[in-house]
Structure 1
Amino acid sequence: MTLTPDLPTTTVETDEVTVVVATRNRADRLRETFPHHRARTILVDNGSDTPPPVFPGVETIALAENRGAAARNVGVERARTPFVAFADDDSYWTPGSLTRAAELMRRHPRAALLAARVLVGPEQRDDPVNALMAASPLGTPPGSAGPSILGFLACSIIVRRDAFLAAGGFEPRLFVYGEESLLAMDLAAAGHELSYVPELVVRHLPLPSGRDNGARARVETRNRVLTAMLRRPAAVVARTVVAAARENRGGAVDALRQAGWAWRHRRVVPAAVEADLRALG
């Protein structure tokens, strides 16, 4: 672990937020995005093959192995601010967004998570998730910060640190792809609000795709089934398994191999949260 002095105050937009950046083997993209972070930042290196760049004033936590999404939990644990914003090595929050997010968190004490509008690429096109969150069938509860959601992109959210830690953060078993759903359910089950706030903006600059889409689809299917096993009623689990077997048999089989673990850690969400999940389809 490398410790360096605090960020210069001229680059700090708010002292109420820590930005946690998870990275793995993307040093070049990290050099492009990292200077845009406008709050105290913790960089979590997720077992990169070579160490990431060193940035003055930044705490870097080097993990010995790739923990997937759960690497973010380590950064949140080290943070000491009431709110934590997530970014990946290819994303950053636009100027003013962190300050505004902190203001909204203070104004809405029930809010545990705010999701920002995501603009993709140099052309700044809207990510399709923006329209889905804006049109959430759950509506906008009175006094909330925005439309109620139970889905989001992890690189574009700010969380209330104590609520995130109490919910257990991101589940290590899910690793990556679809890991957000379980966290959303657990925060909602604890009585917190999760809202989409489009005035908060995150830029996302993904590299040209070099990923194995077939492998990703298999993991996403596995995680969808495991999440259902962990939190949904038995009838929903059964339907999810059947649908998954049709969509991606390998992913369904992978989930069933971990069914024992999932059922041992099973904690069905309250009826109100389950009703919201059904409303979202």
Structure 2
Amino acid sequence: MSPHDVTAIVVTFDSAHALPECLGALAADGAPALVVDNASTDDTVAIAQGQGARVVRNDRNLGYGRANNIGVRAAGTAFVLVVNPDCVVDRGAVVALVDAARRYPDAAFFAPQIVEPSGRVFYQPRSLLATSLTNPGGKLVVPEGEACAPFFSGACFLIRRDVFLELGGFDENIFLFYEDDDLCRRVADSGSALIYVPQAVVRHGRGRSSGERPGRIFTSRWHQAWSRAYVSRKYGLPNPAPGMAAVNGLKAVAASLTFRRSLIERYAGSAAGAWAAMRGRKAF
């Protein structure tokens, strides 16, 4: 088994600033890339094509999950490596993930060690949808070696393509946020294991997938609140939307007194997303 059994799926949206390093690292590690572009307005597509990646161009922004599903369906390899464009794989990371897949045939999902710009290892301490190891206090304890866990970050992971497709891929009702928690939950519910592979190191730019633009914080927070309400309803959890709408609405009013646009967008977006979920609006 080798990196040639893998296609890296990179979903982009105005990601020209981050893409060269991402694609360059994948090429250096022997993993061919398939870029699914969500109607970027910058040089993302030209950069992807210039670096030899296959490119699928969507005529509008379909969201993270739907775009990844398009990429996985187009890939012909046994494994797919879902990679955010602000992630850079270290040399040997793809081989390490594929090797883990060979050694753990009952597992379907393989998570690398994700390192943030500060040098901190990002290891998700808890998940809203976890049924085991729920870690209510959210204490972060990074495993010293390979370990099985019920949930991992969706920033970068390797998954068996047949399992991904059998499970229906990412939930296409979600535009952004919680699609990785939802996928991990369904992988675990199917009886397949999820494995942490720390010798596969990936460096994550965290938040650099898309360029800055006015309203981005509002939109991001809208989807985060909407998606949390959606997955809570999907799995029979208490509805967080009324509380989120009330608390963030009050915070947005208070933030308006500071005249700080980013702060206003943060709370107003969360309140609006929760309110939209309460009214039954869809994310698209």
CA distance in 2, matches of 1:40, 1:210: 28
**Aligned-residue offset at 1:218:** 2.8
Q: 1:33 to 1:56 in 2, by over 3 A?
A: closer
Partner SS state of residue 133, structure 2: coil
Aligned to 2:176: 176
1:223 CA drift (Å):
0.4
| 1:217 partner amino acid | R
Is the Cα contact below 8 Å between 2:148 and 2:193 reproduced in 1?
no
Q: Flag the 1:45–1:64 CA change in 2: closer, same or farther, 3 A.
A: same
For 1:103-252, list aligned pairs within 5 A.
Answer: 103-121=99-117, 123=118, 125-127=119-121, 129-130=122-123, 132=125, 137=133, 146-150=147-151, 152-206=152-206, 207=208, 210=212, 212-230=216-234, 232-233=235-236, 236-238=237-239, 240-248=240-248, 249-252=271-274
- Which stretches in structure 1 are left out of the alignment for 5+ residues? 1-12, 263-281
2:56 counterpart residue number: 61
2:25 matched residue in structure 1: 36
Find the counterpart in structure 1 of residue 98 from structure 2: 102
Alignment CA distance shift 1:170-1:131 (3 Å):
closer
TM-score between both structures, scaled by the size of structure 1: 0.74
Residue correspondences, number: 235
Normalised by the length of structure 2, the TM-score is 0.73
Match in the other structure for 1:24: 13
Question: Relative to structure 1, is the Cα distance of residues 115 and 247 closer, same or farther in structure 2, using a 3 angstrom cutoff?
Answer: farther
Distance (Å, rounded) in 2 between the aligned partners of 1:161 and 1:149: 19
Q: Which portions of structure 1, spanning 4 or more consecutive aligned residues, are displaced by more than 6 angstroms?
A: none
1:149–1:196 contact (8 Å) kept in structure 2: no
Structure 1: which amino acid aligns with 2:227? N
Q: Percent identity?
A: 27
Structure 2 stretches lacking a partner, 5+ long? 127-131, 136-144, 249-270
Partner secondary structure for residue 44 of structure 1? strand
